[in-house]
Amino acid sequence: MAKKSFVGEIIRGIIKDNPVFVLVLGLCPVLAVSTSFENALGMAMAFTFVMLGSNIFVSLLRNQIPPGVRIPIFILIICTFVTMIDMLLEAFLPPMYEALGIFVPLIVVNCIVIGRAEAFANRNSVLPSIADGIGISIGFAAALILLGTIREVLGTGALKLVMLWSKGGELGFCPLSEVPGFSFVPNPIVFPIEPATVMITPPGAFLTIAALMLLFKILGDRKRVKQLKKEGYEI
Amino acid sequence: MSEVLIPGFMPTEDLFPIFVNAMFTKNFLLIMFLGLCSYVGLTTNSDTSKGMSMAVTFVMTMSAILTWPIYHYLLSPASIIGKDLTFLRTICFILIIASFVQLVEFIIRKFSPPLYKSLGIYLPLIATNCAVLGVVLMNIQEGYTYGASIICAFAAGLGYSWVMLATAAVREKLIMRNVDLFSGFIGAFFAATMVALIVVSYFSVVKL
């Protein structure tokens, strides 16, 4: 494998190895909690914590882990971080814990985390593994937030942007308009469209991801055709 | 902290709504979005989806049978140990499920090598199938009695199976028509949209 820069690894995780649209892994939380921007952001944060933690630990222990029992060991490592974020969310962000519900403990069986531990962290040293973790997390978060935004806008006709901010000494998700420096952002942003409730119901999730994948496939195909034409092929 | 009680063995709940909920209105694949990896990966062929559905239903039911007593008699604060060990919940459950999957793998490899071959990577991955862990976690969260939790897990397995088979039927048709754009994951998600719309709209009209 060619040596890559730290930033190169991150960008590869976002675009070429995008966990949701390219690898098609770990779809359960993506579809289930993308009903709104706020939930998508909370899930993305919890996922980033687990992804980074597991990648760092697996790559640190990669020479000690016997190959025969590596999968159970990966699961135990991931499970530790999931339990940690589960308890942290319950203690500090109870509304988000309620909203995400069963999907926080279910990060433990998320195929992306285990897949990266097996395919990347187990074969690379710590620094590239951190880069891979950051890249994959950003790719996952981008997909999740994209889906959440589209579904919230089409399903309710408005968008509530939020941010993690401590207001009055209490940590929580508060509207972006209340964060200093962002007071120009209206809350919520209203779009002049007829809300289609089906978009926030489960079939809407399938429809949105199918449409997005179709879009990316068409864009990719078009790029490939352009490339071939440049090389002198007749199409 | 309020006193925690162990729910009884015999079901005291009304079982019919639990059954219908787990199978249709809260279907694991379509409504709760659990276990989608195997869903998009295996529904290209109805034979593999049949085998996978049977394996998942079996693992779900057996893990519900095992995890309920372990949670309520070893981990919960009301247990015989008397300490609050509920933070070990996820790790215990995943270990139980993983060992069960190993057993199913042995059985399928012995009795049906072709099925074993076609299930491929997805068979060991039942252990990390969110649907299985999801159903046992949900049983605990809802505070079901032992009987009700087994019924719920079995119904969830049946719900998983019928959706797998229905989608496999739709996708096989799409693949046979040779629609290139719909042959991969995109087709799977469009098929899922259709099946999910049917379930959601049917149960928004027919109230239980």
**Complex ipTM value:** 0.82
A-interface mutation test, from B24, B75, B89, B91, most A Cβ less than 10 A away: B91
CA distance B200 to A198: 10
CB spacing of A109 vs B30 below 8 angstroms:
no
Domain-embedded: residue A159 = yes
Task: Report yes or no on A180 lying in a domain.
Answer: no
A interface mutation test: which of B86, B94, B101 has the most A CBs within 10 A?
B94
- Provide φ and ψ at A158, rounded to 5°: -145, 160
Question: What is the nearest CA distance from B129 to chain A, expressed in angstroms?
Answer: 6
The answer on pLDDT for A165 being more than 90 is no
pLDDT at B1: 40
Tell whether A189 is covered by a domain.
Answer: no
Residues of B with Cβ-Cβ distance to A214 under 8 angstroms? 181, 186
Contact A106 B133 (CB under 8 A): yes
More confident residue, B20 or A168: B20
Q: Which residue reads 């399938």 in tokens?
A: A206
Q: Which residues of B touch A (CB under 8 A)?
A: 30-37, 40, 87, 89-91, 94-95, 98, 124-125, 127-130, 133-134, 137-138, 141, 181, 185-186, 189-190, 192-193, 196-197, 200
Q: Are A196 and A154 in contact (CB under 8 A)?
A: yes
Which of B33, B127, B141 shows the shortest C-beta gap to A28? B33
Residue A1 counted as domain residue: no
Contact B46, B163 (CB under 8 A): no
Q: Where are the alpha helices (DSSP H) in B25-145?
A: 36-42, 46-70, 89-111, 113-119, 130-142
Tell me, what's the pLDDT at B121? 67
Task: Please indicate whether residue A162 or residue A213 has the higher confidence score (pLDDT).
Answer: A213
Q: What is the pLDDT of residue B4?
A: 66
Q: According to the model, what pLDDT value does residue A44 have?
A: 92
Asked whether residue A78 is domain-assigned, the answer is: yes
Q: Is residue A95 part of a domain?
A: yes
Q: Is residue A66 part of a domain?
A: yes
**How far does the CA of residue A126 sit from the closest CA of chain B (Å)?**
25
* A200 in any annotated domain: no
Digitized pLDDT (tens) for each residue of chain B, 208 residues in all = 445 677 877 777 788 888 988 888 888 888 888 888 888 888 888 888 888 898 899 889 999 999 999 998 888 887 787 778 888 888 899 888 888 888 888 888 888 888 888 776 677 778 778 889 999 999 988 888 999 999 999 999 999 999 999 989 888 888 888 777 676 788 888 888 888 898 888 887 776 6
The pLDDT of residue A198 is above 90: no
The chain A residue lying nearest B181, using CA atoms, is A214
Nearest-CA distance from B192 to chain A in Å? 7
DSSP A181: T
3-class SS string, A155-188:
HHCEECCEEEEEECCEEEEEEHHHCCCCCCCCCC
The answer to whether the CB of A55 falls within 8 A of the CB of A121 is: yes
* Inter-residue contact B174 to B187 (CB < 8 Å): yes
Residue-range definition of the domain harbouring residue A74: 6-170
Residue A68: exposed, middle, or buried by beta-carbon count in 10 A (0-12, 13-18, 19+)?
Answer: exposed
Contact at CB, A106 and B34, closer than 8 angstroms: yes
Query: How far apart are the C-alpha atoms of A184 and A204, rounded to whole Å?
Result: 31
Count how many domains chain A has: 1
How much is the pLDDT for A57?
A: 94
